[in-house]
Structure 1
Amino acid sequence: MRILICDDDSSIIQSLSQIVTTYFNNKKITCPEIVTFNNGESLLSDKGAKDIVFLDVEMPGFDGIYVGNKLKQQNESVIIFIVTSYIEYLDAAMRFHVFRYLSKPIDKQRLFQNLDDALELYYSTNKEIAIETKNGVTTVSTNDIVYVEANGRKIIVHTLTTDFNSTQTLQFWINHLPVSMFFQSHRSYIINLDKVTSFDHELIYLCDGQFNAYLTRRKFAEFKKVYLQFMESKR
């Protein structure tokens, strides 16, 4: 994991770095690499992983809204905190699904609580799972799985790039996929909530309509509640 902090105010960078380091020390977890930047251009030019990013809004050159949008285009799973004194940027930040909106000066306890949520999301999104097929085993990130389908005796794992005929049972996938991200919408379908574009009483549309899965009518209300809670957890 890599944590990036971008702010043109060196005192904010120092404060955030200290709070994040204290958080991991208190949890008795090895603190990840923390990389700091004083402008958006240098952050975007960084070639390393960008897992959790703290962004100031008002900076010389590229502002935090522009940088946040670019980061989401590069990796939709990046977890972005907007850190600013200006509440008027909230709507713009929400458009690219910012994870949290933090006000300056930083409230340490609130940040600790938000980091709990961020790590839970990070580990569920970046969990890897082995798909067993007749031809061998392939390991993928759970976030790359769009949905799992039982089609007769076949269990098909649909990913963003490839479909796998899994020798594992549907029950295996129900038991092993993160419950915070996946929902069994029908006896034959398990869908990734993060890939949902829209849904009605019969179908769930995923990845801008590239895929769809059945939604049992009796599960519509439950699914709607779970999906809205999932989306709220990303704000």
Structure 2
Amino acid sequence: MRIAVCDDDALMREQIQKYIKAYFEKTCVKCPEIVCFSNGESLLSDKEEKDILFLDIEMPGINGIYVGNELKRQNENIIIFVVTSYAEYLDDAMRFHVFRYLSKPLDIHRFFRNMKEAVSLYNTITIKVPIETKQGIHTLPASAVIMVEAFGRKVIVHSTMRDFDSVHNMQYWLELLPQNCFFQTHRSFIVNFEHIVDFDHTLIHMTGGQFRAYLTKRKYNAFKEAYLLYLESSR
């Protein structure tokens, strides 16, 4: 993981760095690389990967709106925090799918809460899962798994690439897949929130229209709550 901070205010850059380091110290995880930039030009000239970005909007030269749009165009998975005192930029910032909007002065408790969600999202995007079949092992990003289905004696992993007949049972997949993105809606189905198109009290339609999963009535409320939380944390 590589975290970038872009703000023309040196004190704000220092404070964000301090909060990031404090968060990882609190969670007993080694702090990733943190790189700082004082303007949009220097940030855009940096060609290395940026996984999480804290971005000021009002800066000399290129403003944060342009920078955010450009970085999202280069890497749609970048997680962007907009950090600013100017609420009038919120609508423009949301157009390039800002993860969170943090107002100055920063509240450390809110900062930690949002960092936890950002790290969780990053892990979900980058985590890869092994799919073992009788023919061999295939490794895919977790995000490529549409759903897992128990069909008769088979367990089928439906993915964006193709279907795989897994040698493992549903309990194995329930424990392996990240819980913030996957939900067991029925004893025969585990669905990926990312690929849901729509749902009602009994049925969930997935990406492309070719997949659907059953939803038991007793799980409906818990599923709906988890799905809405997922949407909130990934917008």
TM range (shorter): 0.7 to 0.9
Partner of residue 214, structure 2: 215
Partner of residue 13, structure 1: 13
Partner of residue 3, structure 1: 3
Q: Provide closer, same or farther for how the CA distance between residues 140 and 15 of structure 1 changes in structure 2, counting only shifts above 3 A.
A: same
Q: Provide closer, same or farther for how the CA distance between residues 92 and 156 of structure 1 changes in structure 2, counting only shifts above 3 A.
A: farther
Greater mean alpha carbon deviation, residues 209-218 or residues 177-186: 209-218
Per-residue deviation, 1:192:
1.0
Per-residue deviation, 1:186:
3.3
Determine if the alignment matches structure 1 residue 59 to structure 2 residue 59. Answer: yes
Task: Name structure 2 gaps, 5 residues minimum.
Answer: none
Say whether the 8 Å CA contact 2:182–2:192 is kept in structure 1: yes
Cα distance in 2 for residues equivalent to 1:42 and 1:151: 53
Cα distance in 1 for residues equivalent to 2:94 and 2:85: 16
Partner of residue 164, structure 2: 164
Q: CA RMSD in A?
A: 2.8
What one-letter code is carried by the residue in structure 1 that aligns with 2:212? A
Partner of residue 127, structure 1: 127
Determine if the alignment matches structure 1 residue 38 to structure 2 residue 41. Answer: no
Cα distance in 2 for residues equivalent to 1:69 and 1:206: 29
Cα distance in 1 for residues equivalent to 2:206 and 2:89: 29
What secondary structure does 1:12 align onto? helix
Q: Provide closer, same or farther for how the CA distance between residues 194 and 41 of structure 1 changes in structure 2, counting only shifts above 3 A.
A: farther
Q: Provide closer, same or farther for how the CA distance between residues 63 and 212 of structure 1 changes in structure 2, counting only shifts above 3 A.
A: farther
Cα distance in 2 for residues equivalent to 1:21 and 1:5: 13
Q: Provide closer, same or farther for how the CA distance between residues 88 and 147 of structure 1 changes in structure 2, counting only shifts above 3 A.
A: same
What secondary structure does 2:47 align onto? coil
Cα distance in 1 for residues equivalent to 2:4 and 2:72: 14
Say whether the 8 Å CA contact 1:191–1:213 is kept in structure 2: no
Partner of residue 90, structure 1: 90
What one-letter code is carried by the residue in structure 1 that aligns with 2:211? N
Per-residue deviation, 1:84:
0.5
Residues matched between the structures, number: 234
Partner of residue 185, structure 2: 185
Per-residue deviation, 1:87:
1.4
TM-score, structure 1 normalization:
0.82
TM-score, structure 2 normalization:
0.82
Greater mean alpha carbon deviation, residues 22-31 or residues 11-20: 22-31
Greater mean alpha carbon deviation, residues 182-191 or residues 88-97: 88-97
What one-letter code is carried by the residue in structure 2 that aligns with 1:189? F
Greater mean alpha carbon deviation, residues 60-69 or residues 47-56: 60-69
1:90-127 CA-to-partner distances (Å, cap 9, x unmatched) read 33434444222111232334323322332233334433
Say whether the 8 Å CA contact 1:189–1:213 is kept in structure 2: no
Identity across matched positions, percent: 51
Determine if the alignment matches structure 1 residue 196 to structure 2 residue 192. Answer: no
